[in-house]
Structure 1
């Protein structure tokens, strides 16, 4: 995380997803994104507030949402320490901002395929159902209506969760969607623990040691 560490210093409270390669990849896409003056930005599933703080440092008006109480506390603390005005709300995905529109929405949702029942506790930050799309499909369905004309969604997830499905769903909502970033990273402990199950589903090769992360950019052009 050397590249991201130079961008913002963060505190991570117990039980909160710490910034990793996916956060770093999405932060890079955020840095490249042109923002209009006084841009309105939404960070969905904010976690530590890393991306929310990064957007606020660029002068944006930022709302951050997370369903986890520890994540909300962490994001508020990091915004305070960074001296950035971020409104952090506890709630389920986009429900707290229904009816509002934004110039940019960033999302690093849970996306790890899981063979077990719905996750509880800290695992809610990464487990996302049998196909890894439990939250991704909701983002594809709910976020397009939150984008202003010219508004952009930046979402990061593993290729294991089906990048083509994300592209197809966003395009069917009228957005112009494309993959802008890819990065190969070593399998983390959660994926390593599920290697046999992932291999049985054809998502990993038996000797596979890496997964690919992707950032998808989707724009409302009208």
Structure 2
């Protein structure tokens, strides 16, 4: 778990522009501190938040209590704890940073960002599983790095029957993790020698009515 950063802010901006009826059912997958879940709850949505980290679960519960807004916060790996429900909106800021290690870390802070050699270990699971939890007209909003192939995300969501597109972009300075991997990313061809900033994107996907 780590404090909300530019990716959370970018996704929060997309959430703010999304029509959200009072009482809409919202799922925040990989909630972390609960920032996005709280933003949706303040708009009158019924929010469920999930995280695989117990520390994140406790932090999100504390932040919800301090904010005085109701959020149902559960421990679980992505959708395992909520497969019996469907949602009007799913939010996700998942691990998406390409990493020298092949798998997702079992523990530690890197579990919040490392996602295999191409950064897609968690993204591909979301693309495969989230469509089945959306109601007709429901929307998935997901943020990730351009290093982890937004076009592939859009293509997989379209293949699942959703209308999908990149709707927001933002270029930011490399953070500590990417700075430590610049050489490796360039060796793999994920980063050109001229690139000095990271591009973040929001993918919006809607299940037709």
The bucket for the TM-score relative to the shorter chain is: over 0.9
- Counterpart of 1:66 in structure 2 is 51
- Counterpart of 1:51 in structure 2 is 36
Count of aligned positions: 207
Distance 1:116 1:191 in 2: 14
TM-score (norm 1): 0.92
Q: Which runs of 5+ in 1 are unaligned?
A: 1-15
8 Å contact kept, 2:99–2:119? yes
C-alpha displacement at 1:37, in angstroms?
Answer: 2.7
Aligned counterpart in structure 2 of residue 213 of structure 1, from 189, 200, 205 = 200
Root mean square deviation, CA, Å: 0.8
Runs ≥4 residues deviating over 2 A: none
Aligned counterpart in structure 1 of residue 94 of structure 2, from 109, 112, 119 = 109
Where in structure 2 are the equivalents of 1:2-151 lying within 5 Å? 16-118=1-103, 119=105, 120-151=107-138
Aligned counterpart in structure 1 of residue 173 of structure 2, from 186, 189, 212 = 186
TM-score (norm 2): 0.97
8 Å contact kept, 2:22–2:43? no
C-alpha displacement at 1:202, in angstroms?
Answer: 1.1
- Counterpart of 1:158 in structure 2 is 145
Aligned counterpart in structure 2 of residue 202 of structure 1, from 181, 184, 189 = 189
C-alpha displacement at 1:117, in angstroms?
Answer: 4.5
